[in-house]
Every structure is written in C-alpha cells, then in structure tokens.
C-alpha cells in the first residue's frame, strides 16, 4: 500500500511539472504571436489615423495621435487625383487576368493530359520565364511596342502581362490537372471525343478552383505592378500604382492625402484577399516557385 | 501516324504560348544582350558591335559599384531577416493554436498590397527627422524614452540599405511563414513520436528530425527571396525615389534609360541583373524538375 502511494507520488511530480512548463510555453507562444500582430499592424494604424486628419493636425508632435477631428477631406482629394489611375487599373487587371486564365488553362491541360514529345522541355523553358527579371526584356519590349505602334497604351500593357504571366498560370493549372485521373481522359478519347471536346466536357467543369487561384493571382500582380507600367505607359494610361507614386512623390502632397491615396489603391486587392483568402493562399503555395 | 494525330492537336493548342515565350522571353533576352554589346549610347545612333566593352566599363562608374554594394547589403539583410522571422512565426504556430487562421491572415496580408502603397507608409515611418522634427518611428522612440534608437534610417550612409530591407521583410515574412508552416506539417508525427520514445528531448527532435525535413522548403524560400531581392525596384522608388543614396541596379537601369537616354548602358545593367538571377535559378530549376521526374517514376 505504502509503496503504491510512493510510486504514484513519484510519477505525479514530473507530470505536474511538465504540465506547468507546457502552460508557460503556450503563454509565451501567444504573447510573441500577439506582439508580432501589433508590429505588423503598425503601418495600418498609421495609414488610417493619418488619412483622417485635417491639415491643422499635421504637426510632427501629433504624428502618432488619433485625429481629434475626423475628416474625409484628404480622402476626397485623393480620390479626385487617383480615380483616373484606378479606372485604368480596372481596365488593365480585369481583362488581363481573364485572358491569362484561359491561356493557362489550355496550356496546363495539354502539358498534363495531352502531352506531345518534348512537353517536359517546353515546360522547363516556360518555368525559366517565370524567374527572369523583367528588366532584362524591357528595353527591347519598349522598342518592339514602339515599332508596332502599341506603345504607351493599356492594350500593350495587357499584352506584356499576359505573355509574361503564361509561365505561372500554366504551372498552376498543370499542377491542378495532374490530379485528375487519366482514366477520365482515356474514356473520353475512346468515346471518340476530340481534344477540345474532352477539355469542354471533362476538364472545364472541374476547373473552378484553379481558375479562382489563377485569376486572383494575376489580378493581384497586374493591379500591384509598377515596373511594366512605368516603362510601358504614358500619362493617359497610368495605372493606380504609377499615379500613386507620382502623387506621393510630390513634396506638396500632405501626408493625409498620401495615406488616403495609398489605401484607395490597395482596396481592391485587399477585398480580394479578405473574401477569397483561401484561393490567394493556394496561389501563393503553387507559386512557391515564383515571387 | 496514329500517334502524330494523337499529340498534334495538343502541340497546336500550346503553340501560340510557345511562340510568345520564345519571342518575348528568349528573343528579347537575346536582343537585350546584343544591344548591351553595342555602342548605342544615344537614341538615334545605329550602334556598332563593341563586344564586352560596356560590361567592363560599367565597373569604372562609381554609381554602378555603389548600387551593387547596396544590392548586396539589401539582399543579405532582407533574405536573412525574412527567413528567420518567417521561421520563427511558423515555429510558434506549428503545433496548432487557437485562432491560427486569424494570425495567418494578419501576417500574410502585406503580400496582397503593392510595394508602392507600402513604400509610402514606410517612408513616413522611416523619416530621418529627429527630436522635435521627428515623425514616424523616430517620434515613437522619442515618446517611449528610447531616443538613442533614433537614426537616419535609409538615409544612413553606411547602413541605409539595411533599413530599406525592413519594409521588404514586413511584406514577405508572412509568405515565408506559410511556406515553413506547410513544411512543419509535412513532418510525419510518428517520426517525432519515435524520436521521443527513444529519449530525445524536444530540442533534439527539432534539431535531428524536423530541421532536415525543412531543407527543401528553405531552399525554395531562399530562391524566391533572393530573386525578389536582386531585382528590387518598386519599393526603393516608392520610399526614396531615384537618389544615389539608395540606388540599386534596377533603379540605375531606369535612370540610364529614361534620364541618361543611354540604351546600351541600360541594357548592360539589365544583362547583369539577369545574369545574377540566372546563376542560381537555373541550377535550382534543373534540380526541381529532376526531383519531380524521380517522384513521378517511383
């Protein structure tokens, strides 16, 4: 009897100790995670707080305070200045991402289910296209577009984004289609269906998630792009990023307007992120090969 | 004959993309290299072939060596910073915690915003003004009694580029976290359990079981961060414009094309950027294609 008690006692002590240690570790975990959340949100606070401040509160001594008087004035001015760019970005990103998704879907289908000799080599060469720094093609691209007389306008910019988006879109669709059983394609083939018919009746109906991932990926990269836009567009066709950079770069623009404009330019992608974050995540993981 | 009929339609369907990639990726890269080997230093001249002269002479220009140094400092701080912070965040979350979805969403949201927009906030946060004139983080440090932490940020002549890496770390470490989190979750629980039964403490479980599993993810993360870093452009322009003090090759190239109107010089800088990315991306691509093929066979 006494031995049992002693044994139980001896066993209980370490269990108790490790439970306490586990609880401490968990608390530290949460504390650190919450600390990082606060650090990550500092820029968000600054954006919001500053954008609602009237000019009278622009003094450095009040830099971190919430506005005493909340005003939409900066937002109104920022909207006026930025709206042409926002509209250009819509005209760029919506058609651009849809065309990219269509192309990527067909390429991915062929490269996973209707392979031709050399398909692997083609795919590898595509992949490299994903990594090239676009600076390396920019000067010839400008030259070509000038020669073709499509320089400085939105269609030319869409063309560039669609072409340089082929690799990533193809990759995402191919990796998605690989999971569809080959037997389905074979069955369709045996029934005498052509390649395009099989695409329409077998592949397309199950492609929804991949389309969501690619459209979101391309929409975000087209909306946020600055490099292509700054090289390929002129004042009439500047998308939101270029216009935003010009507005914020002007010394005379007060901080409140800069911040309001920055928020306005980020709203569409933020909405996409909040509503469709799940697909955004998947695009990121598929793009683990790309930045 | 039957087999040709079998694969030909597929090739036809992909051929527009093949042509586009051939022309716009490989053709233009080649065109750019050819331009870099001419003396077309203004927009009207024809440009004679001069071999590698431009590639050599670039190193005599102080602005070029400055921008290369900047890119190196930026790359080291950014890659290490984002990698370590991402790993730490993933490590804190990997065993599953309440509200994981919310934490992830917050750490990842900067990825959805453009460098231009975040550059505007960070320019304010990293304003060089101090004491009475301070805004941004310097003002925050001042208010918290941490005045000694105030500094010039990206205007610091020696370590300015390290400051410039901070917004990039803020933007990308959530992504690295997501990659590592997937890596952590890929470690079979039985393996960890077996190691524990064999008497390993948690530290040794991480050291000998988990970390080796994370190697491929770490490599992917390194490649992604590295190639973003070598071509960094938007962020620098949004935070500091085209000042020499924060110059990097991509910004220098932009200046060469639009301000100096020197196509050959711009092409040479671009060629160097491409080469710097290629030397580590090509081996990586070959490695991952081979790995995938091996997995498909087994």
Nearest residue, CB atoms, A291 vs list B132, B228, B273: B228
pLDDT at res. A8: 45
Q: What is the mean pLDDT of residues B112-118?
A: 92
CATH assignment at residue B73: 1.10.3720.10
Residue B53 lies in a domain: no
Judging contacts by C-beta atoms under 8 Å, the chain A residues touching residue B229 are none
Residue B18 lies in a domain: no
pLDDT at res. A24: 86
In this structure, what are the phi and psi dihedrals at residue A146, rounded to the nearest 5 degrees?
A: -65, -45
Mean pLDDT of chain A: 87
pLDDT at res. B117: 93
Whether the predicted pLDDT of A11 surpasses 60: no
List B49's β-bridge partners, or say none. Answer: B38
What are the pLDDT digits (tens) for B208-225?
888 888 888 898 889 889
Judging contacts by C-beta atoms under 8 Å, the chain A residues touching residue B178 are 281, 284-285
Whether the predicted pLDDT of A288 surpasses 70: no
With a CB-CB cutoff of 8 Å, which residues 272-291 of chain A face chain B? Answer: 272-273, 277, 280-281, 284-285, 288-291
Residue B172 lies in a domain: yes
Residue B100 lies in a domain: yes
More confident residue, A122 or B4: A122
Residue B297 lies in a domain: no
Residue B138 lies in a domain: yes
Is B29's CB within 8 Å of A136's CB? yes
Give the mutation candidate from B116, B181, B261, B274 for the A interface (greatest A CB count, under 10 A). Answer: B116
Opening angle at CA A270, ends B179 and A218, nearest 5:
65
- Token couple for B234: 């938007």
What are the pLDDT digits (tens) for B246-289?
899 999 999 999 999 999 999 999 999 999 999 988 888 888 77
Is A60's CB within 8 Å of B134's CB? yes
CB A107 within 8 A of CB A174: yes
What are the pLDDT digits (tens) for A99-112?
999 999 999 999 99
Q: How many CB atoms lie within 10 A of CB B172?
A: 25
CB A224 within 8 A of CB B115: yes
CA distance B99 to A114: 43
Judging contacts by C-beta atoms under 8 Å, the chain A residues touching residue B122 are 43
Q: What is the mean pLDDT of residues B105-111?
A: 90
Is the complex ipTM more than 0.85?
Answer: yes
Query: Which residue is closest to A32 within chain B, CA to CA?
Result: B92
Q: What is the mean pLDDT of residues B182-193?
A: 86
Q: How many CB atoms lie within 10 A of CB B208?
A: 11
More confident residue, B150 or B66: B66
- How many CA atoms lie within 13 Å of B94's alpha carbon, on the beta-carbon side? 21
- How many CA atoms lie within 13 Å of B209's alpha carbon, on the beta-carbon side? 21
Name the band, by pLDDT with cuts 50, 70 and 90, for residue A13.
low
pLDDT at res. B267: 96
With a CB-CB cutoff of 8 Å, which residues 150-169 of chain A face chain B? Answer: 160, 163-164, 166-167
- Token couple for A27: 């608390």
Name the band, by pLDDT with cuts 50, 70 and 90, for residue A250.
confident
Is A290's CB within 8 Å of B8's CB? no
What are the pLDDT digits (tens) for A32-41?
999 999 999 9
CB B273 within 8 A of CB B253: yes
Residue B203 CA, chain-centre distance (Å), reads 31
How many CB pairs below 8 A link A and B?
Answer: 255
Residue A242 CA, chain-centre distance (Å), reads 18
Q: How far A262 CA lies from chain B's nearest CA (Å)? A: 5
What percentage of chain A carries pLDDT values higher than 90?
53
A259 touches chain B (CB under 8 A): yes
Residue B1 lies in a domain: no
Is B8's CB within 8 Å of A116's CB? yes
Nearest residue, CB atoms, A248 vs list B120, B249, B281: B120
Q: How far B91 CA lies from chain A's nearest CA (Å)? A: 9
Least confident of A171-180, B110-119, B140-149, B211-220: B140-149
What are the pLDDT digits (tens) for A136-176?
999 999 999 999 988 989 999 999 999 999 999 999 999 88
More confident residue, B267 or B139: B267
CA distance A213 to A190: 31
Residue B50 lies in a domain: no
Q: How many CB atoms lie within 10 A of CB A41?
A: 12
pLDDT at res. A3: 41
What percentage of chain B carries pLDDT values higher than 70?
99
pLDDT at res. B2: 55
Give the mutation candidate from B4, B14, B37 for the A interface (greatest A CB count, under 10 A). Answer: B14
- CA-based radius of gyration for chain A: 27
CA distance B108 to B44: 47
Number of domains, chain B: 1
Full residue range of the structural domain in which residue B106 is found: 69-246
More confident residue, A195 or A3: A195
Is B139's CB within 8 Å of A220's CB? no
Query: Which residue is closest to B16 within chain A, CA to CA?
Result: A103
Name the band, by pLDDT with cuts 50, 70 and 90, for residue A291.
very low
pLDDT at res. A286: 65
Q: What is the mean pLDDT of residues B214-238?
A: 89
With a CB-CB cutoff of 8 Å, which residues 39-78 of chain A face chain B? Answer: 40-43, 46-47, 50, 60-61, 63-64
B280 contact partners, CB below 8 Å, separation of at least 6: B223, B226, B227
Q: What is the mean pLDDT of residues A214-220?
A: 92
CA distance A158 to A89: 10
Name the band, by pLDDT with cuts 50, 70 and 90, for residue B173.
very high
pLDDT at res. A115: 87
Whether the predicted pLDDT of A123 surpasses 50: yes
- Map chain A to HEC letters: CHHHHHHHHHHHHHHHHHHHHHHHHHHHHHHHHHHHHHHHHHHHHHHHHHHCCCHHHCCHHHCCCCCCCCCCHHHHHHHHHHHHHHHHHHHHHHHHHHHHHHHHHHHHHHHHHCCCCCHHHHHHHHHHHHHCCCHHHHHHHHHHHHHCCCCECHHHHHHHHHHHHHHHHHHHHHHHHCCCCHHHHHHHHHCCCCHHHHHHHHHHHHCHHHHHHHHHHHHHHHHHCCHHHHHHECHHHCCHHHHHHHHHHCCCCCHHHHHHHHHHHHHHHHHHHHHHHHHHHHHHHHHHHCC
Q: How far B214 CA lies from chain A's nearest CA (Å)? A: 14
CA distance A114 to A196: 10
A203 touches chain B (CB under 8 A): no
CA distance A68 to A60: 14
Whether the predicted pLDDT of A16 surpasses 50: yes
């Amino acid at each position: 009897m006494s031995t049992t008690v002693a044994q139980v006692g001896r066993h209980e002590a370490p269990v108790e100790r490790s439970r306490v240690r586990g609880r401490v570790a968990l608390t530290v975990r949460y504390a650190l995670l919450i600390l990082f959340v606060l650090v990550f949100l500092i820029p968000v606070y600054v954006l919001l707080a500053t954008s609602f401040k009237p000019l009278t509160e622009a003094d450095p001594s009040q830099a971190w305070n919430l506005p005493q008087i909340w005003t939409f004035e900066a937002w109104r001015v920022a909207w006026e200045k930025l709206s042409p760019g926002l509209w250009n970005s819509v005209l760029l990103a919506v058609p651009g991402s849809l065309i990219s998704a269509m192309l990527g879907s067909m390429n991915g289908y062929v490269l996973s289910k209707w392979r031709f000799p050399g398909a692997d080599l083609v795919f590898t060469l595509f992949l490299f296209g994903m990594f090239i720094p676009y600076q390396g093609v920019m000067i010839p691209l400008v030259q070509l577009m000038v020669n073709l007389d499509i320089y400085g306008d939105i269609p030319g910019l869409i063309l560039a984004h669609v072409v340089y988006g082929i690799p990533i879109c193809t990759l995402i669709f191919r990796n998605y289609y690989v999971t569809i059983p080959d037997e389905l394609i074979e069955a369709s083939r045996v029934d005498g269906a052509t390649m395009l018919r099989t695409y329409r009746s077998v592949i397309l109906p199950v492609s929804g998630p991949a389309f969501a991932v690619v459209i979101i990926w391309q929409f975000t990269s087209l909306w946020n792009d600055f490099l292509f836009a700054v090289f390929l567009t002129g004042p009439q066709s500047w998308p939101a990023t270029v216009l935003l950079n010009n507005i914020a770069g002007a010394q005379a623009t007060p901080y409140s307007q800069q911040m309001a404009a920055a928020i306005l330019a980020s709203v569409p992608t933020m909405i996409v992120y909040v509503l469709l974050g799940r697909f955004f995540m998947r695009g990121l993981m598929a793009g683990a090969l790309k930045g | 004959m039957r087999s040709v009929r079998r694969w030909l339609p597929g090739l036809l369907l992909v051929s527009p993309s093949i042509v586009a990639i051939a022309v716009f990726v490989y053709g233009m890269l080649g065109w750019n290299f050819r331009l870099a080997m001419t003396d077309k230093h203004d927009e009207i001249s024809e440009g004679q072939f001069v071999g590698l002269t431009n590639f050599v002479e670039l190193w005599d220009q102080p602005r070029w060596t400055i921008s290369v140094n900047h890119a190196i400092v930026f790359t080291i701080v950014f890659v290490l910073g984002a990698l370590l912070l991402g790993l730490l965040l993933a490590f804190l979350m990997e065993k599953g915690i309440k509200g994981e979805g919310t934490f992830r969403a917050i750490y990842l949201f900067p990825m959805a915003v453009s460098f231009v927009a975040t550059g505007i906030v960070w320019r304010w946060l990293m304003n060089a003004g101090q004491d009475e004139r301070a805004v941004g983080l310097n003002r925050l440090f001042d208010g918290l009694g941490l005045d000694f932490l105030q500094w010039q940020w990206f205007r610091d002549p020696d370590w300015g580029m390290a400051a410039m890496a901070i917004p990039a770390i803020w933007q990308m470490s959530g992504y690295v976290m997501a990659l590592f989190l997937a890596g952590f979750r890929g470690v079979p629980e039985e393996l960890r359990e077996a190691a524990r039964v064999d008497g390993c403490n948690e530290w040794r479980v991480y050291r000998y079981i988990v970390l080796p599993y994370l190697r491929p993810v770490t490599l992917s993360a390194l490649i992604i961060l590295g190639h973003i870093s070598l071509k960094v452009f938007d962020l620098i322009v949004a935070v500091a414009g085209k000042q020499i003090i924060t110059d990097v090759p991509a910004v220098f190239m932009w200046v060469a094309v639009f301000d100096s109107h020197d196509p050959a010089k711009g092409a040479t800088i671009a060629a160097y950027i491409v080469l710097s990315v290629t030397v580590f991306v090509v081996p990586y691509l070959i490695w991952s294609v081979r790995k995938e093929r091996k997995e498909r066979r087994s």
